[in-house]
């Protein structure tokens, strides 16, 4: 790919342009707001002018509701050989493209899963997409050439392409992105009318839950309404869960008033809360850990830690010094040992199988009392 | 403070004990699970034994529903001169203490606003509370000595004490901690039954929204039911917001089916979404920025950036080199300037008033064309 046009120089469009420029592609920038295109150019994202001849790829970086009109206008003036977009909703724009665009075969839907709370060209970063998924949603008329250019763009930006159908994409992102945004917004909206102490006791948990609610309301309104059908079902399920929780809380609040020291009752309310919390933990278990590679076979080193203050800290320090982050070391079982000859704690330290021998030998040489390594199924 | 007892050596209790030991306090540790107390001791958090005489302060680090029983048992054996706790619910335990404890005047409620998703003594950190708020909730019988020890504990852990009434505390944390936890859990619970592509497209936004749902379900069930009364009202308001959103999404999904290319209509559904998103942004505006000090008076440096590719990136680089993080620089207005003698972008860079002259002079010396600094009201 030698030449590219980017239509819409907001956060995503400008970041794509910066990444492409950085890889030697000649990029032509445009935006309804001419100052935004010139800002992107001044940032080094390309030239704020029309290309002299059709480019290899045009990237439509406009909100979901404007994809079809932007594609039609671009195809009518012959802007590019093939086209993609970066909107986070795919089925609606695809239907509109199939119904109305002059050459739908030259279009493949795209959606890089990356963003920031800040918007506009000044927030753009060439590395925004590095290591992130980039969904591509070819429709039944999409040409091989269009799909290939979409794949090339994702790879050029350092992202990992994921090919799926537009409807499947929209159902997934309703759950992974759009409904979470709504929840962050309903939670953040409550803070406005909260008691005076809210800013005093706001911590990291609240900040994390509400962070994405800071996104541009106009763009997000466009995204949410463009994916209304896929979101509606999820929102109804959430509301049903919240109704059950509200009923449980009412029961528990009443119990609290009637017998204020009787916290121990495991009634219906408690079961509802425990069930929800456990389902939440189970839901998280299905998400990949950030930065985690494929599961690694582990060996469990078993170390006897003498029962003296600070000895366990000393062991964890020794393990850390061997290149294992202490936060990653899940010490799985700590048992009090009361043998005749020694009292202490038996600690089980899972380490990657490949490093087990080296780490075990080093710990043994340092005087730690250890049992032979035991293999653990890959997690 | 010379001596301290910590009852309950989970994440919070062990972290308090590590911080106190680090400040030279003699700490005595106990836990219903004796291996947990010995693990904390082996980490260097103190001694897993009973103190030989009453300690200066006992810290009850047990779930909210067990505060009163733990205090009664400790006071009956004369464990300490004064008592506090670290539970995240304060009104219910306080009522139980006032009704049943032998010496309620020797107790002050406490709640450090800090935590991790990992639990147990092995997750503990001496610095867990550094810079975090630490609520203290004296009741009408709390002695001056008890409150002073609570303040001393917070300061010893590097936290910022905040004194408030127990009921006010519970209303605030319902909004800032307990309801966010519930929302994170209902969202995470939905992931379990989601489409197969969920793990492929899960990004940082989803991870942030759901992160706290990984907390220990048994502890959180105890916390949530202990604050049921304060939470119930907030959950009802959230459910009402979600009902409005669900109705709006239904409207928009229907419109989508009836006229699939008519995304432009600004009907009731769009207004509902836009209103919610805007309220979310407004709610976040009331939260302190993490690590932010008091508002600083700013001056707006105005720089004319020549209309050549990469010039704005060069300016931002120059500003960064002067010690201002580019992400903190809000370039507030970028205007295209088309004067006879020059075309370019007018960029307004707010900098702290105290640094304005130095930064302006340096940029001027580097050849940047700038107007005089203009003062901006403190944000």
pLDDT in tens, A321-347: 887 766 666 665 566 666 555 677 878
Asked if B44 reaches chain A (Cβ–Cβ under 8 Å), the answer is yes
Distance CA B326, CA A124 (A): 12
CA distance B343 to chain A (A): 11
The answer to whether A117 faces chain B, any CB pair under 8 Å, is no
Determine whether A337 is exposed, middle or buried from the number of CB atoms within 10 Å of its CB (0-12, 13-18, 19+). middle
Size of interface A-B (CB pairs under 8 A): 459
Say which residue the tokens 């809380």 belong to. A249
CA distance B61 to B46: 15
The two beta strands, A3-7 and A160-163, are unpaired
Domain locations along chain A: 3-164, 227-285, 298-376
The alpha-carbon gap from A56 to the nearest alpha carbon of chain B, in Å, equals 21
pLDDT, residue B335, reads 64
Identify the DSSP state of B287: S
| pLDDT band at A14; cut points 50, 70, 90 | very high
CB contact A171 to B (< 8 Å): yes
Tell me: pLDDT of A358 over 90: no
The span from the CA of A296 to the CA of A36, in Å, is: 47
Q: With CB atoms and an 8 Å threshold, state whether A175 touches B188.
A: no
Closest among B109, B12, B28, B98 to B61, alpha carbons compared: B12
Q: Which of A74-78, A221-225, B301-305 has the highest mean pLDDT?
A: A74-78
Residue pair B61/B6 in contact (Cβ under 8 Å)? The answer is: yes
Which of B31, B33, B38 minimizes the C-alpha distance to B6? B31
For residue A378, pLDDT beyond 50: no
Contact (Cβ atoms closer than 8 angstroms) between residue A89 and residue A74: no
User: Partners of B82 in the beta sheet?
Assistant: B57
pLDDT at A175 over 60: yes
B92 contact residues in A (CB cutoff 8 A): 256, 260, 263
CA distances (Å), A112 to each of A14, A272, B200, in order?
Answer: 13, 38, 12
The β-bridge partners of A28 are A5, A47
Contact B205 A195 (CB under 8 A): no
Strand order in the sheet with A298-306: A334-338, A343-352, A298-306, A369-376
Q: Does A103 touch chain B (CB under 8 A)?
A: no
Q: Give the three-class secondary structure for A119.
A: coil
Q: Contact, A109 vs A138, CB < 8 A?
A: yes
Query: Is residue B78 left, alpha or beta, with left meaning phi > 0 and alpha meaning psi from -120 to 50?
Result: left
Residue to test with chain B: of A245, A282, A319, A336, most B Cβ within 10 A: A245
Q: At what angle do helices B353-365 and B311-321 cross, to 10 degrees?
A: 130
**Continuous H helices in B61-143:** 67-76, 91-100
The complex's ipTM works out to 0.83
Residue A282 exposed, middle or buried by CB count within 10 Å (0-12, 13-18, 19+): middle
Q: What is the mean pLDDT of each run of 10 residues along chain B (379 residues)?
A: 97 97 97 91 94 98 95 97 97 95 98 85 92 95 97 97 96 96 95 89 90 90 92 94 92 66 63 93 84 65 81 84 70 60 73 82 84 51
Question: Distance, in angstroms, between B25 CA and closest chain A CA?
Answer: 14
Listed residue (A225, A172, A244, A215) closest to B245, CA to CA? A225
Beta-carbon separation of B172 and A200 below 8 A: yes
From the CA of A317, how many Å to the nearest CA of chain B?
Answer: 10
CB neighbours of A229 closer than 8 A, spacing ≥ 6?
Answer: A170, B249, B253, B256, B257
| Nearest CB to B281; choose among A195, A206, A217 | A217
Residue A83 forms beta bridges with which residues? A58, A107
The answer to whether the beta carbons of residues A138 and A115 sit under 8 Å apart is no
**pLDDT score recorded for residue B332:** 56
* Test the B interface: residue of A98, A161, A189 with most B CBs within 10 Å: A189
Say whether A203 and B132 touch across the interface (CB within 8 A).
Answer: yes
Residue found by looking up tokens 């300490």 in the block: B80
CB neighbourhood size of A285 (10 A): 11
> What is the C-alpha separation between A327 and A293, in angstroms, rounded?
17
CB B345 within 8 A of CB B335: yes
Nearest CA in chain B to A289: B207
Q: Cβ–Cβ of B225/A171 closer than 8 Å?
A: no
Q: Which CATH class is domain B298-376?
A: alpha beta
| Beta strand pairing call for A55-60 and A107-112 | unpaired
Instruction: Pinpoint the alpha helices (H) of A259-337.
Output: 268-285, 311-321
Kindly report the number of other CB atoms within 10 A of residue A193's CB atom: 12
Between residues A315 and B84, which one has the greater pLDDT? B84
Cα–Cα dist A146/A155, whole Å = 14
**Structural tokens at position B37:** 């107390």
Residue of B nearest to A240 (CA): B239
Please tell me the predicted confidence (pLDDT) of residue B109.
98
Residue A163 touches chain B, beta carbons under 8 Å: no
Please, are residues A345 and A310 in contact by the beta-carbon 8 Å criterion? no
CB of B9 within 8 Å of a chain A CB? The answer is no
Does B378 lie at the interface with A, CB-CB under 8 angstroms?
no
Chain A, window 205-264: residues with a beta carbon less than 8 angstroms from a chain B beta carbon = 205-215, 217-218, 220-222, 224-226, 228-229, 231-232, 234-239, 241-243, 245-246, 248-253, 256-257, 260-261, 263-264
* DSSP helix, strand, coil percent of chain B (3-state; round to 5): 50, 20, 30
Instruction: Report the alpha-carbon distance of residue A203 to residue B290 in Å, rounded.
Output: 9
Residue A325: CB atoms within 10 A of its CB come to: 8
Q: Is the pLDDT of residue A216 over 90?
A: no
Question: Residue A156's pLDDT band (boundaries 50, 70, 90)?
Answer: very high
Q: What are phi and psi of B111, to 5 degrees?
A: -155, 100
Quick one: pLDDT at residue B266? 54
Higher pLDDT, B297 or A90: A90
Q: Please compute, for residue A139, the number of CA atoms within 13 A of its CA located in the half-sphere on the CB side.
A: 22
Q: Confidence band (pLDDT; 50, 70, 90) for A35?
A: confident
Q: How far apart are CA A60 and CA A72, in angstroms?
A: 11
Q: Is A133 close to B201, i.e. CB distance below 8 A?
A: yes
Taking contacts as CB-CB distances below 8 angstroms, the residues of chain A near B334 are 35-36, 39, 122
For B3-165, CATH number? Answer: 3.40.50.720
CB contact (8 A) between residue A195 and residue B171: yes
Q: What angle do CA A234, A168, B266 make, to 5 degrees?
A: 60
Give the one of B68, B290, B313 whose C-beta lies nearest to A261's C-beta: B68
How far is B12 from B69, CA to CA, in rounded Å? 19
Q: Which residue has the higher pLDDT, A209 or A267?
A: A209
Contact, B256 vs A228, CB < 8 A? yes
Of B173, B201, B309, the CB nearest to A41: B309
- Quick one: which H or E segment has residue A55? strand A55-60
- Å between A217 CA and nearest CA of chain B: 5
Cα–chain-centroid distance for residue B34?
Answer: 32
Tell me the chain A residues in contact with residue B249 when contact means C-beta distances shorter than 8 Å: 224, 228-229, 231-232, 235
pLDDT of residue A24: 96
Is B209 close to A44, i.e. CB distance below 8 A? Answer: no
pLDDT of amino acid B349 = 79
CA atoms of A364 and B276, how far apart (whole Å) = 60
Angle between helices B34-42 and B11-22 (to 10 degrees): 30
Half-sphere exposure of A295 (CA within 13 A, CB side): 8
Q: Do A95 and A120 meet the contact criterion of CB atoms below 8 Å apart?
A: no
Taking the CA of residue A128 and the nearest CA in chain B, the distance in Å comes to 12
What pLDDT score was predicted for residue B333?
57
- CATH of A3-164 among 1.10.10.10, 3.90.1640.10, 1.10.3720.10, 3.40.50.720: 3.40.50.720
Partners of B179 on chain A (C-beta within 8 Å) are: 187, 190
CA gap B152, B110 in Å, rounded: 12
* B320 near A CB under 8 A: no
User: What does the alpha-carbon distance between residue A356 and residue A319 come to, in Å, rounded to a whole number?
Assistant: 11
**Distance in angstroms (rounded) separating the CA atoms of residues B82 and B113:** 21
Neighbours of B352 (CB within 10 A): 12
Q: What is the pLDDT of residue A264?
A: 47
- Asked if A282 and B192 come within 8 Å (Cβ–Cβ), the reply is yes
Averaged pLDDT for residues A81-103: 96
CA neighbours within 13 Å on the CB side: how many for B263?
22
Question: CA of B173: which chain A residue's CA is closest?
Answer: A201
Q: How far apart are CA A22 and CA A75, in angstroms?
A: 27
Q: pLDDT at position A324, please? A: 73
Q: Which candidate from B35, B115, B288 shows the least CB-CB separation from A202?
A: B288
Instruction: Concatenate the DSSP letters of all residues of B26-77 into one string.
Output: EEEEE-SSHHHHHHHHHTTS-BSS--SS-EEEEEE-S-GGGHHHHHHHHHHT
Helix (H, G, I), strand (E, B) or coil at B292: coil
Cross-chain residue pair B65–A238, CB shorter than 8 Å: no
Burial (0-12, 13-18, 19+ Cβ within 10 Å), B290 = exposed
Residues of A in contact with B304 (CB under 8 A): none
Tell me, yes or no, if B98 comes closer than 8 A to chain A by beta carbon: no
Option in A100, A186, A201 nearest B162 (CB)? A201
Q: Which residue is closest to A88 within chain B, CA to CA?
A: B201
**Average pLDDT of the residues in A33-48:** 91
Out of B195, B243, B276, the one facing A189 most closely (by C-beta) is B276
- A252 and B228 in contact by Cβ < 8 A? yes
How does DSSP classify residue B192?
T
Of B231, B276, B283, the CB nearest to A249: B231
Cβ–Cβ of A225/B269 closer than 8 Å?
A: yes
Q: Alpha-carbon distance B54 to A77, whole Å?
A: 86
């Amino acid at each position: 790919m030698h030449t590219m046009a980017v239509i819409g120089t907001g956060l995503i469009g400008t970041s794509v342009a910066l990444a492409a420029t950085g890889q030697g592609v000649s990029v032509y920038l445009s935006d309804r707001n001419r100052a935004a295109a010139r800002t992107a150019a001044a940032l080094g994202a390309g030239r704020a002018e029309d290309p002299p001849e059709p480019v290899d790829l045009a990237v439509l970086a406009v909100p979901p509701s404007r994809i079809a009109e932007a594609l039609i206008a671009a195809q009518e003036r012959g802007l590019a050989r093939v086209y993609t977009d970066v909107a986070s909703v795919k089925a609606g724009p695809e239907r509109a493209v199939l119904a109305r665009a002059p050459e739908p075969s030259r279009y493949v839907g795209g959606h890089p899963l990356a963003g920031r709370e800040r918007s506009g060209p000044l927030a753009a970063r060439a590395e925004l997409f590095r290591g992130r998924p980039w969904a591509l949603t070819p429709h039944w008329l999409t040409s091989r050439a269009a799909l290939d250019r979409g794949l090339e763009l994702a790879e050029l930006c350092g992202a990992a392409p994921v090919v799926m159908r537009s409807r499947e994409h929209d159902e997934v992102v309703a759950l992974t992105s759009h409904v979470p945004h709504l929840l962050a917004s309903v939670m953040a909206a409550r803070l406005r009318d909260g008691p005076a102490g809210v800013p005093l006791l706001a911590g990291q948990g609240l900040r994390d839950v509400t962070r994405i609610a800071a996104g541009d309301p106009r763009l997000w309104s466009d995204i949410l309404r463009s994916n209304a059908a896929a979101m509606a079902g999820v929102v109804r399920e959430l509301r049903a869960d919240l109704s059950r929780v509200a009923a449980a809380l009412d029961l528990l609040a009443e119990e609290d008033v009637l017998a204020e020291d009787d916290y121990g009752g495991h009634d219906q309310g408690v079961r509802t809360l425990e069930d929800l919390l456990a389902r939440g933990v189970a839901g998280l278990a299905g998400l990949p850990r950030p930065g985690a590679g494929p599961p690694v076979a582990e060996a469990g080193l078993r170390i006897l830690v003498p029962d003296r203050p600070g000895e366990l800290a000393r062991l964890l320090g020794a393990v850390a010094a061997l290149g294992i982050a202490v936060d990653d070391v899940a010490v799985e079982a700590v048992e009090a040992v009361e043998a005749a000859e020694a009292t202490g704690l038996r600690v089980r330290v899972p380490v990657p199988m490949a490093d087990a021998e080296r780490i075990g030998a080093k710990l043994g040489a340092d005087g730690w009392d250890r049992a032979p390594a035991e293999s653990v199924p890959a997690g």
